[in-house]
Amino acid sequence: MSAPRLWNLIAELTYRCPLRCPYCSNPTDLRSHPDALDADAWSRAFAEARALGAVHVGLTGGEPTTRRDLVQIVRAAAAADLHVHLVTAGLPILPDGLGALARSGLGSVQLSVQDAEEADSDRIAGTNAFARKLVFARAARELGLPLTLNVVLHRHNLGRIAAIAALARSLGARRLELANAQYHGFALRNRAALLPTREQLRAAASDVERERTRSAGLEILFVLPDYFADRPKPCMGGWGRKALVLAPDGRALPCHGASSLPLEFWRYPERSLRQCWEDAPGMNAYRGEGWMREPCRSCPERARDFGGCRCQAFALAGEAAEADPACALSPHHALLAAARDADAADAGDGPGFAWRTW
């Protein structure tokens, strides 16, 4: 089939990061993925992404502000006529550095915090970071950069929605993303310690509703985690359908998790971005609907969710072409429910998780 238009380039500039969050979605073999693209290579990639139709680039990682050539990278992305969005933990960059990025064409920022209070946030981050994050947020607002606050939710912070929303309001965020942990990579290793209980989720959903009524001007996003849903999410808006992830080592992927699948993806700049997007066998493996098995093949919802997440199907069912086990119609759905119930029973009271290691 012919490749669709590319809309969004997700530029993973590096997997290095000063934080050690236990739910990190980066590959667990971080050292096997060095930073292979210099600023000139990224600059050419941005121009090629624009030629494929992209209008947006997310600069992410790891922590993109560990790159010393970030100003050059931002300038190149803006010159390619892309909206430049920075996804950051708020350090090691300092306010002067953020000012330089804003003057180079940065369009918006997403700042992660791990909780609403310093001690809890730093405990999850595995380092002292919270105070620096507040400095970053204030600098972003002073520069007029639209600010999104992102908080990954799990059993240790789901009870603090009100305090998290108050923090977002006090920082002048336009948007608050309450992202329930997705159990890939390090998060899958730590699943027993992170999975919430059904009661926690129910209470959190009603806290979100209440905060929405008192947060005029703040958009709050909250989506139920797969382990407690009966239909999957349209992961990445569909495989190879809208977004391309360019990993630090130059691999062009359809999503953050695809490097764990036994598929052939191509590397940039060994091949052009157009070849990586249009012709790589891995990129085409789950495009469209031809690969689908039952129950997806004849399901009316396949045009909405594209059968869910291939990486989750591979990790849990052992076969990426299966329906996402998050779907109640999947023959593997019981696997997910059993893992949820077993992990909830095992979780205990302590943190019980291991931080990301390098």
Residues that bind ligand FES (CB under 6 A): 235-236, 239, 255-258, 309-311
From the list ligand SF4, ligand FES, none, which binds 301 (C-beta under 5 to 8 Å, kind-based)?
ligand SF4
* Pick 165 or 311: Cβ nearer ligand FES: 311
Angle at 7 between CA 6 and CA 12, to 5 degrees: 90
Q: Indicate which single residue of 35, 207, 324, 343 sits in contact with ligand SF4 (rule: CB under 6 A).
A: 324
Helix, strand and coil percent figures for the chain, each rounded to 5? 40, 15, 45
CA gap 137, 9 in Å, rounded? 24
Q: Is 8 helix (H, G, I), strand (E, B) or coil?
A: strand
Cis check for the bond before 295: say yes or no (omega within 30 of 0): yes
How do strand 252-253 and strand 243-246 relate by DSSP bridges?
A: antiparallel
For residue 272, give both structure tokens. 């052009």
CB of 216 to ligand FES, least distance (A): 34
327 forms part of the interface with ligand SF4 (CB under 6 A): yes
> CA end-to-end span of the chain, whole Å?
39
CB of 230 to ligand FES, least distance (A): 18
179 forms part of the interface with ligand SF4 (CB under 6 A): no
From the list ligand FES, ligand SF4, none, which binds 258 (C-beta under 5 to 8 Å, kind-based)?
ligand FES
The alpha-carbon radius of gyration of the chain (Å, integer) is 20
Q: Indicate which single residue of 231, 267, 271, 274 sits in contact with ligand SF4 (rule: CB under 6 A).
A: 231
Q: Indicate which single residue of 146, 295, 331, 351 sits in contact with ligand SF4 (rule: CB under 6 A).
A: 295
Segment near ligand SF4 (CB under 6 A); pick from 18-26, 140-148, 206-214, 302-310: 302-310
Strands (E), 40-100: 56-60, 83-88
Q: In sequence order, what are the residues at sequence separation of 6 or more whose Cβ sits closer than 8 angstroms to the Cβ of residue 314?
A: 260, 261, 320
Residue 106 burial (C-beta neighbours within 10 Å; 0-12, 13-18, 19+): buried
* Pick 255 or 323: Cβ nearer ligand FES: 255
* Pick 291 or 355: Cβ nearer ligand SF4: 291
296 forms part of the interface with ligand SF4 (CB under 6 A): yes
Q: Indicate which single residue of 260, 302, 335, 344 sits in contact with ligand SF4 (rule: CB under 6 A).
A: 302
Q: Indicate which single residue of 307, 310, 353, 356 sits in contact with ligand SF4 (rule: CB under 6 A).
A: 307
322 forms part of the interface with ligand SF4 (CB under 6 A): no
Helix (H) or strand (E) segment spanning residue 343? helix 333-346
3-state SS string for 136-153: HHHHHHHCCCCEEEEEEE
* Pick 163 or 299: Cβ nearer ligand SF4: 299
Q: Is 29 helix (H, G, I), strand (E, B) or coil?
A: coil
* Pick 77 or 235: Cβ nearer ligand FES: 235
> One-letter amino acid identity for 10?
I
316 forms part of the interface with ligand SF4 (CB under 6 A): no
Q: Which residues bind ligand SF4 (CB under 6 A)?
A: 231-232, 295-296, 299, 301-302, 305, 307-308, 323-324, 327, 329
